[in-house]
Structure 1
Amino acid sequence: MKQKIQLLFFLFLTQQGIAQDKTFVIRTGEPVAAVSPTMYGVFFEDINMGADGGLYAELVKNRSFEFFKPLMGWKVEQNPYREGAVLVLNRKEQHTANPRFLRITLPGDGPRSLSLINEGFRGMGIKKDLRYDFSFMYASAAAGLTVRAELCNAKGQAIGSAVLIPPATGGVWRKQELQFTATATEEKALLKITLEGNGTIDLDMISLFPGDTWRGRKGGLRADMVQMLADMKPGFIRFPGGCIVEGYDLSQRYQWKKTIEPVEERQLLINRWNFEFAHRPAPDYFQTFGLGFFEYFQLAEDIGAAPLPILNCGMACQFNAAEVVPLDQLDPYIQDALDLIEFANGPTTSKWGKIRADMGHPQPFGLSMMGVGNENWGPQYLERLQLFQKAIKAKYPDFRIVASSGTDPDGKRFEQLDTALRALHIDFIDEHYYRPPQWFFSNVNRYDHYPRTGTKVFAGEYAAHPEGVAPEKKNNWLAALSIAAFLTGVERNAAVVEMASYAPLFAHTAGWQWSPDLIWVSNLKAAGTPDYYVQQLYALNKGTKVLPLTLNDKVVAGQDSLYASAVLDEPAKELVIKMVNALPREQSIRLELRGTKRRTALAKLIRLQHTDLDAMNSMEAPRTVFPQESGIRLSGKQPPVTLAPYSFTILRIPYS
């Protein structure tokens, strides 16, 4: 109720200059800017269990026993108990990336069975009749142990199992795989591994994947989550973050070269969201990097998005450690950037191009841009950025660089960075704004007076945060409606803004740290928020050229609480008009299409609407706020259109 009152008061203030003539004039023959193909994209960060426990489909938590507590996520059952039956061994000097493993001993005079139970990431989502791929690395001097893998439901009952007797390896590490089919669906299943017989076996990399990963890739990504991204048809995907790029300190920064080894060689790292928020602790949140840079590039290619990696610039998070690398020691960081371009684009005869090819992708990924630093600021950032810029442009003159404008969209820090970055002729300035919905309604004109040439804007992280919604800020319709209004101003200024992405992308209902978020997932389901459908509708209807759209010779940016923009979709030969009505009542407008010959047209109308600003989607009701399509016949020189209360409406009109 509080936010409704706030919005209504805000809308009352904006209506003091109410327009009597509500005719939207669109000059179809006078395009003012091209819309970038990368205009609307997605921002991915491993926050809210976005990767491990989310997009990366691995179901076993702490599969290699590398968490700070080596048996976190595991429970050992043996009856009777025998000391020393389970040991965690560390071979750090021989195997620094994955030093720990489990040694299990079942002597002839002791218990002849022992079970290891893994709880998964807030449980394991298991689907009836689906194949599951179970694997583990092991070493044993002699045969004699039977391994039984079982999926158990919340009551401890088996809902799928398989048995094998792994042959002796003579102490050499080998991989063993088997498959089984689940007999029931379970939201919070467990994996139980029982060893029977007598002998000693070493275990590592105990893994379980569903058989329905994206494109059926073994050890791949969760298909329903990727499909949600593919359905948006994003122009780009930014990865891997976000704050995890910086790290709490530099020892915890994201290092892409450590994510392209074989999976068992990728060194685990604590996730900074493990401890960032005292009110949302996640002591079991680590990064296994099963989703690494090769997989990010592959994902971008799969969904038709341009890859946009962000690299550390030699600075840790300035809110935390504020640690920086001395300028005379920055070369390895710069070399990482140059090597990444070669990894993505280099020929197979080059060092890093060959590594890419050996991973299964001989063709280049077509990387054309990169971010240097995330939410960094100050003279320390600028002097490091310039060294990156000089080295990258010297070798790749056309490569585009994205630079940080700090954490806020205004203020002295932002102004200093904006001025300095434009003087450096940086390609993109990355602006971030997490603000209340009223900020977005008020800032629809933000880019109207930005320079039309030179440095472009990347609206890299934005989300409307409703106030007074407990216990967390939620993705209600008010938040999404304000973003829909704001994006009319972004689209109108496509000469300034060439990329935009909501953030964060994913959140697990049982493991989130930050909200609101674009897509919420449980162990079995994924649901788009109202914000998701706003972003999707903009991406699917972005068009190719911006057209002037005015009301009484002014851009439509709040008059009568209306917001609007228009583009041409040249391949489809359609005029696309986006309109937001932020009032709790219908509004009727007329369209005057100057420059078109057709006076009658059957248009497509797409509407996202709800009369309750607090309305939200959920796992149980994922389509509470959902786009509805219908046809509408437009006739005459100024055909009327009715805009529903609290609505975001898109019209697609054939033109000639």
Structure 2
Amino acid sequence: MKWIFEKILVFIVVVNAFAGFAQQNNLEVDLSKSVAKIQPTMYGIFFEDINFAADGGLYAEMIKNRSFEFTVNPLMGWIQPNSNRHSLNTNSGIATIIKYANSSGNHNYCRVKINNDKGYELINEGFRGMGIKKDATYNFYISALNKSGSIKNIIVQLIDKNKNVLGETKVAATSPVWKDYTAQLTAIKTEANAQIKITFEGTGEIDLDMVSLFPVDTWKGRKNGLRKDIVQLLYDLKPGFLRFPGGCIVEGRTLARRYQWKKTVGPVENREVLVNRWNTEFAHKLTPDYYQSFGLGFFEYFQLSEDLGAEPLPILSCGMACQFNSGELAPMEELDPYVQDALDLIEFANGSTDTPWGKVRNDMGHPKPFNLKYIGVGNEQWGADYIERYKVFAKAIKAKYPDMIIVSGSGPSPDGDYFQYGWEELKKLHADIIDEHYYKDPKWFLDNAARYDSYDRNGPKVFAGEYAAHPRGVKDGPQENNWQAALSEAAFMTGLERNADLVVMTSYAPLMAHIDAFQWAPDLIWFNNIDSYGTVNYQVQKMYSTNKGTDLLLITKEGKPLTGQEGLYASAVKDINKRELIIKLVNTKSSAQSVSIDLKGRKVKSKGTKTLLTSDNLVDVNSFESPNKISPVSSGFKLRGKKAILNLEPNSFTILKLSI
């Protein structure tokens, strides 16, 4: 009898296990009913100069403090290894900072005195070093004035940590007046932490300014342009918009240190260097060498938007410094210059070449307007002071440019008194789009997939402008970009997509970070001086942005949207241009789930593709060593009659694509 009892127990266990595995989630999609149009701006990117994202990152300049403008120490980044300030009669030479008598943006230059032939060196350390690649060519630029006339040449060398020469060139800087010189170097070795060494032939005094080094191989081959590998990662996202230049960087710690777009256009040598607001923001991550050269300025942001096929979305100061710092306010009676900056920016972007600011754009090489449609007033300000200032901006902008779409803000949090107040007041003012920000743990993202289901459809549209899942108990840095965080974002984004009638713009934040100089994590893209990679969060964003479709469809289970029932999340769209049905499915359970999708309303071809993103471990990450460890895998898929039947893997994000 015992063996019969044991067999019955085994049979019961097997049957129950099979039943649990085979139990299907029956879903339904009606292809004939378009719920809403999905805006081309639905998935975009948000750039902020945090984590050395501009200088030392996207902007390909390799020399730090190229014009000797850092305010605390104008020679920061420059080293004089064999100069002895205490024995000027015997040292080989010395560099001294001199202020221009009449200067707008560029205030300082460097005077080098060479005393003898003992080998005076002036070395620039770069942005945590300089990444050079074997056989790659680099453009060297320098502005010089030879005061004594006895210095014959400037010798320029790329060196490694042991001072081995990796590339060399020479500049005959003999002019007694300021003159620009150029030369090229070709690297004989790949080195992530190179430096540049400048020595001199002869003795005497020579003045130097705008010392610069760029790779020849930049994005689109532009001189003094952007880092090619990083822009390629952005381009591959096919973003609908580019929001710039921030972020808190717009506001500044004080109003004097706010981002002023007019100081970032025109000749690059005249753009005034500014200390970055992330320079001293975090006591445990001080970066006193973090400044903004503005070589990547508003013209370059507009140009990048054009390159990416993305709508430009500039964000401007509303006369309020960061409320987490000084909270300094421009008095209402002194707000006009801030408002005029916004009006002038629209003219810079869209004005004809015979307008003052349209002419500036034309002189920079872009006679054609940038076709700006969106502008942001403030970043994440809150309270009555913000509303009072927003009213002034909105009135002036709409009066002159009635079709301009204004993005306003609801503060730094997705809930609370300030958030509610901002929404209520902006709704009364018939605001166009309200920007919401949320940095929360993965559970929050799973729990809030239905966040926008109950929003008022008669109010302003929503821009989910800054969001990222921050996993808890994880080491600070790239380890925060793990599969748990990305999976929760994938689930949450089904809710963004399902509410595409209301949510018209979304972007992960921050966009990128230098592995050796970051203040904030997680980030969508990580880079060092040589390489860059997209995190698994990047892969999630890319799967959405390259599969956004044109029309929202309903996908339901028992008549209800999937917002986490049984750990399942889903959204569905169709692309009327490509004649495709695209279904996104997220299984957040640690076990597989079977799904049967009944496709109604339109005929669908029986063969399609299934793209899967998953990993065995929730703490897995992509890395410099394994940049594609977690990346999408596509395979063929076939319908069973009129139904799509899938077995969703544990902790997985799946996209099913079928031709209509």
* TM-score when normalising by structure 2: 0.94
Alignment of 1:231-380 (within 5 A): 231-380=236-385
User: Which position in structure 2 is the counterpart of 1:72?
Assistant: 76
Deviation for aligned residue 1:635:
2.2
Deviation for aligned residue 1:289:
0.3
User: Which whole-Å deviations, capped at 9, do the CAs of 1:2-32 have from their partners, x for residues lacking one?
Assistant: xxxxxxxxxxxxxxxx996511100100111
User: Which position in structure 2 is the counterpart of 1:516?
Assistant: 522
> Taking structure 1 as reference, are residues 380 and 19 closer, same or farther at Cα in structure 2, changes over 3 Å only?
farther
Three-state SS of the structure 1 residue aligned to 2:639 is strand
Deviation for aligned residue 1:93:
4.5
CA contact (8 A) 2:24 2:593 kept: no
User: Which position in structure 2 is the counterpart of 1:410?
Assistant: 415
> Taking structure 1 as reference, are residues 79 and 553 closer, same or farther at Cα in structure 2, changes over 3 Å only?
closer
User: Which whole-Å deviations, capped at 9, do the CAs of 1:562-583 have from their partners, x for residues lacking one?
Assistant: 0000001111101000000001
Deviation for aligned residue 1:209:
0.5
User: Which position in structure 1 is the counterpart of 2:129?
Assistant: 123
Pick the aligned partner of 1:22 from 17, 21, 25.
Answer: 25
Deviation for aligned residue 1:261:
2.4
Deviation for aligned residue 1:193:
0.7
User: Which position in structure 1 is the counterpart of 2:16?
Assistant: none
Three-state SS of the structure 2 residue aligned to 1:114 is coil
User: Which position in structure 1 is the counterpart of 2:647?
Assistant: 642
2:24 & 2:88 partners in 1: Cα distance?
85
User: Which position in structure 2 is the counterpart of 1:99?
Assistant: 107
Three-state SS of the structure 2 residue aligned to 1:22 is strand
CA contact (8 A) 1:112 1:196 kept: no
User: Which position in structure 2 is the counterpart of 1:89?
Assistant: 97
1:154 aligns with 2:156: no
Deviation for aligned residue 1:83:
2.1
Q: In structure 2, give the amino acid aligned to 1:602.
A: K
CA contact (8 A) 2:22 2:594 kept: no
Three-state SS of the structure 2 residue aligned to 1:324 is coil
User: Which position in structure 2 is the counterpart of 1:218?
Assistant: 223
User: Which position in structure 1 is the counterpart of 2:4?
Assistant: none
CA contact (8 A) 1:112 1:198 kept: no
Pick the aligned partner of 1:541 from 535, 547, 554.
Answer: 547
2:83 & 2:480 partners in 1: Cα distance?
47
Deviation for aligned residue 1:156:
1.4
User: Which position in structure 1 is the counterpart of 2:18?
Assistant: none
Pick the aligned partner of 1:583 from 586, 589, 592.
Answer: 589
Three-state SS of the structure 2 residue aligned to 1:636 is coil
User: Which whole-Å deviations, capped at 9, do the CAs of 1:234-254 have from their partners, x for residues lacking one?
Assistant: 000000000010000101100
Three-state SS of the structure 2 residue aligned to 1:272 is coil
Deviation for aligned residue 1:125:
0.3
Q: In structure 2, give the amino acid aligned to 1:98.
A: N
Q: In structure 1, give the amino acid aligned to 2:307.
A: D
Q: In structure 1, give the amino acid aligned to 2:636.
A: G
User: Which position in structure 2 is the counterpart of 1:618?
Assistant: 623
User: Which position in structure 2 is the counterpart of 1:607?
Assistant: 612
User: Which whole-Å deviations, capped at 9, do the CAs of 1:389-417 have from their partners, x for residues lacking one?
Assistant: 00000001110000010010011111111
Deviation for aligned residue 1:294:
0.2
> Taking structure 1 as reference, are residues 93 and 144 closer, same or farther at Cα in structure 2, changes over 3 Å only?
closer
Q: In structure 2, give the amino acid aligned to 1:211.
A: V
**Aligned-pair identity (%):** 53
Deviation for aligned residue 1:586:
1.2
User: Which whole-Å deviations, capped at 9, do the CAs of 1:455-491 have from their partners, x for residues lacking one?
Assistant: 1000000000001112447100000000000000000
Alignment of 1:415-426 (within 5 A): 415-426=420-431
2:643 & 2:546 partners in 1: Cα distance?
26
1:175 & 1:43 partners in 2: Cα distance?
36
Deviates more, 1:541-550 or 1:77-86: 77-86
1:202 & 1:164 partners in 2: Cα distance?
14
Instruction: Count residues in correspondence.
Output: 633
> Taking structure 1 as reference, are residues 531 and 72 closer, same or farther at Cα in structure 2, changes over 3 Å only?
same
Deviation for aligned residue 1:279:
1.0
CA contact (8 A) 2:169 2:183 kept: yes
1:178 aligns with 2:186: no
CA contact (8 A) 1:113 1:197 kept: no
Q: In structure 1, give the amino acid aligned to 2:163.
A: G
1:191 & 1:219 partners in 2: Cα distance?
17
1:572 aligns with 2:583: no
Deviation for aligned residue 1:72:
1.3
CA contact (8 A) 1:584 1:611 kept: no
Q: In structure 1, give the amino acid aligned to 2:593.
A: Q
2:107 & 2:356 partners in 1: Cα distance?
27
User: Which position in structure 2 is the counterpart of 1:54?
Assistant: 57
Deviation for aligned residue 1:264:
0.9
Three-state SS of the structure 1 residue aligned to 2:438 is strand
Alignment of 1:102-113 (within 5 A): 102-107=110-115, 110-111=116-117, 113=119
1:400 & 1:276 partners in 2: Cα distance?
32
Deviation for aligned residue 1:112:
5.4
Deviation for aligned residue 1:502:
0.1
1:89 & 1:578 partners in 2: Cα distance?
59
User: Which whole-Å deviations, capped at 9, do the CAs of 1:403-456 have from their partners, x for residues lacking one?
Assistant: 010010011111111111111111100000000000000000000011223410
1:343 & 1:382 partners in 2: Cα distance?
26
1:175 & 1:61 partners in 2: Cα distance?
19
Alignment of 1:550-569 (within 5 A): 550-569=556-575
Q: CA RMSD in A?
A: 1.5
1:140 aligns with 2:135: no
CA contact (8 A) 2:145 2:173 kept: no
1:446 & 1:562 partners in 2: Cα distance?
16
User: Any stretches of 5+ residues in structure 1 without a counterpart?
Assistant: 1-17
Three-state SS of the structure 1 residue aligned to 2:157 is strand
> Taking structure 1 as reference, are residues 79 and 426 closer, same or farther at Cα in structure 2, changes over 3 Å only?
closer
Three-state SS of the structure 2 residue aligned to 1:77 is coil
User: Which whole-Å deviations, capped at 9, do the CAs of 1:217-248 have from their partners, x for residues lacking one?
Assistant: 11110000000000000000000000010000
